[in-house]
Structure 1
Amino acid sequence: MARPTRVSRALSQNYLTDRTAAARLARLAVPHPKAGLVLEVGAGKGALTELLAPRCRRLLAYEIDGRLVPQLDARFRSASQVQVVAGDFLAARPPRTPFSVAGNVPFSRTAAIVHWCLAAPALTDATLLTQLEYARKRTGDYGRWTSLTVLNWPRYEWRLVGRVGRHGFRPVPRVDAGILRIERRRTPLLDPAALSGWRHLVELGFSGVGGSLHASLCRAHPRRRVDAAFRGAGLDRAVLVGAVSPDRWLRLHEGLEA
């Protein structure tokens, strides 16, 4: 009998053992069976891979832990649509054709994986099992919004679509997990020509220069125009920058660019 593979703390491994949660994650990641290309981050022992495979035409299952790759190869040898890729997902070159990303991501590498996804021109969506706190912060579930989410809001929608208790993993992590869904909008909320100005606005607003969002924006725009934009967005001048939702940022942008 083969000895069980020991968990690598350096790789932040927490295997998903809750099959109900895994099935839900697979359905959320690939809502329509026989989808095109899907990239799985951290295939582990193949629990999610097994559920994703029947739902897509091609599945690239990335696994950085070389000890697990032979097991994955053997498990999916008869699944012609599955290709096990030994190596770091973050070192992969994004496909040029439309693709999705799914996975139970190592908590310690979540930010880097999200940035990889956002930088991939052909990405259509990503469904990631992350620390619950990370998913809540990125989707405004705390009533506050982060600069990364606001910056990318015109092109991507961010949603918290599920939760998984920590006891659904082995070894058991210290915190629960959340299912984060990032979808590229079919029609962006801003024209490409406006994205540079949008980035400047959001980065200036989150800079903290001046002590408040209103004061920060007054460094680049006449106070009268900023006041009018705040009124148009329904914002109080004393509002904290993190409390401004993406839709109100869009109204601010519209008012300042008018």
Structure 2
Amino acid sequence: MRTLAPHTHNPAGIHLLRDSGAIAKLIATAQPGKDSLVLDLGAGPGTLTAPLADTGARVLAVERNPEFVRRLEKRFADRTNVRVVRQDLRRMSLPHRPFQVVASIPYALSTFLLRRLLGPRNTPLQKADLVVEWGFARRITSPHPRDLDTAWWAARFDLRIQQRIPAKLFTPAPGVDSAHLTVRAREGSRNGRTQQALWGLLATTYASKGAPPLRSVLANLTNGKRVHRLGKGLPTNADELTPDDWATLARRLAAEDVQLPRLPAQLERR
């Protein structure tokens, strides 16, 4: 993890996870397969790159700090399954083939990176195991997402906190704890029509003032005869739906013979 804010004894804002147990659990949970493509975003000196490479996965170690890049290139010069990429995380091109991410990412870039990884409808991301700031992890795994972006991610990907990682396990220690966050694609989440239904439901809900009744949200997308049937078994108010509920409702709506809204342009590209 790296925070981008200045630090009295750490001007670069770099905090490296040094606990072998936490690292081992991160890799074990990620379960990269042999020849899987894995991105280590913000690789630093290779703390996660090395154990990832030991699994036989193909690892892209992405790092922008020139000193760390030199150390990575020297350390992994004889590892044919590691490629060091000197690139800014905010500008790098993501792979077009299926990939996973195992990384300790900068606190300040957490929302930006998740928007890039989870936002597009056609993202080839398969799964991710991330070390992120504790408060951020708590916010995006809330059973009732507070914004449209988070709801869109959480209804398409199962977001879970695996463990709390105390600040003392980093060198130097940051001012707050971190979390091991897992990201796993939900079944059927890549279906284009289901994604259209989901976006229509969420965009209508989060554009409303207050807490709209679920029936009102559905009435904007289909006729009254279907509203009761589609909402059966779900909460009355839209703001009470969990990501699981939204995913269920989107599948139900997608199965209906109704015209669904197109996805906005920003969700069609990565």
Determine the structure 2 residue equivalent to 1:212.
211
Determine the structure 2 residue equivalent to 1:3.
none
Code of the aligned partner of 1:103: A
Does residue 1:87 correspond to 2:87, yes or no?
yes
CA distance in 2, matches of 1:190, 1:94: 18
CA distance in 1, matches of 2:158, 2:203: 19
Determine the structure 1 residue equivalent to 2:246.
249
Name the count of aligned residue pairs: 243
Identity of matched residues, %: 25
Decide whether aligned partners of structure 1 residues 250 and 122 sit closer, same or farther in structure 2, where only a CA change above 3 A counts. closer
Cα shift readout 1:222-241 (whole Å, capped 9, x = no counterpart):
9966973686133144x7x1
Determine the structure 2 residue equivalent to 1:200.
200
Decide whether aligned partners of structure 1 residues 122 and 249 sit closer, same or farther in structure 2, where only a CA change above 3 A counts. closer
DSSP 3-state at the match of 2:90: helix
Cα shift readout 1:14-57 (whole Å, capped 9, x = no counterpart):
1111121112112222x154241111101112111111111133
CA distance in 1, matches of 2:109, 2:76: 26
Runs in 1 of length 4+ with deviation above 3 angstroms?
6-9, 152-155, 221-227, 250-258
Determine the structure 1 residue equivalent to 2:116.
116
Does residue 1:169 correspond to 2:170, yes or no?
yes
CA distance in 2, matches of 1:32, 1:93: 21
Cα shift readout 1:174-205 (whole Å, capped 9, x = no counterpart):
211111111224x4157422322320210111
Contact 2:219 2:227 in 1 (8 A): no
Alignment of 1:134-149 (within 5 A): 134-140=136-142, 143-146=143-146, 147-149=148-150
Cα shift readout 1:104-123 (whole Å, capped 9, x = no counterpart):
00101011111221236322
CA distance in 2, matches of 1:126, 1:256: 27
Alignment of 1:210-249 (within 5 A): 211-214=210-213, 217=217, 220=220, 228=228, 232-237=232-237, 241=239, 243-249=240-246
Counterpart selection for 1:127 from 129, 132, 152: 129
CA distance in 1, matches of 2:77, 2:254: 57
Code of the aligned partner of 1:16: L
- CA shift at 1:208, angstroms? 3.4
Code of the aligned partner of 1:182: V
Decide whether aligned partners of structure 1 residues 226 and 24 sit closer, same or farther in structure 2, where only a CA change above 3 A counts. same
Contact 1:62 1:85 in 2 (8 A): yes
Contact 1:76 1:82 in 2 (8 A): yes
Cα RMSD of the aligned pairs, angstroms, is 2.9
Code of the aligned partner of 1:175: V
DSSP 3-state at the match of 2:67: coil
- CA shift at 1:167, angstroms? 0.8
- CA shift at 1:72, angstroms? 1.6
Stretches of structure 1 that go unaligned for 5 or more consecutive residues are: 1-5
Does residue 1:71 correspond to 2:55, yes or no?
no
DSSP 3-state at the match of 1:108: helix
Code of the aligned partner of 1:136: R
Decide whether aligned partners of structure 1 residues 172 and 101 sit closer, same or farther in structure 2, where only a CA change above 3 A counts. same
Decide whether aligned partners of structure 1 residues 251 and 43 sit closer, same or farther in structure 2, where only a CA change above 3 A counts. closer
Contact 2:218 2:227 in 1 (8 A): no
Contact 1:14 1:106 in 2 (8 A): no
Contact 1:154 1:190 in 2 (8 A): no
Code of the aligned partner of 1:150: A
Code of the aligned partner of 1:59: V
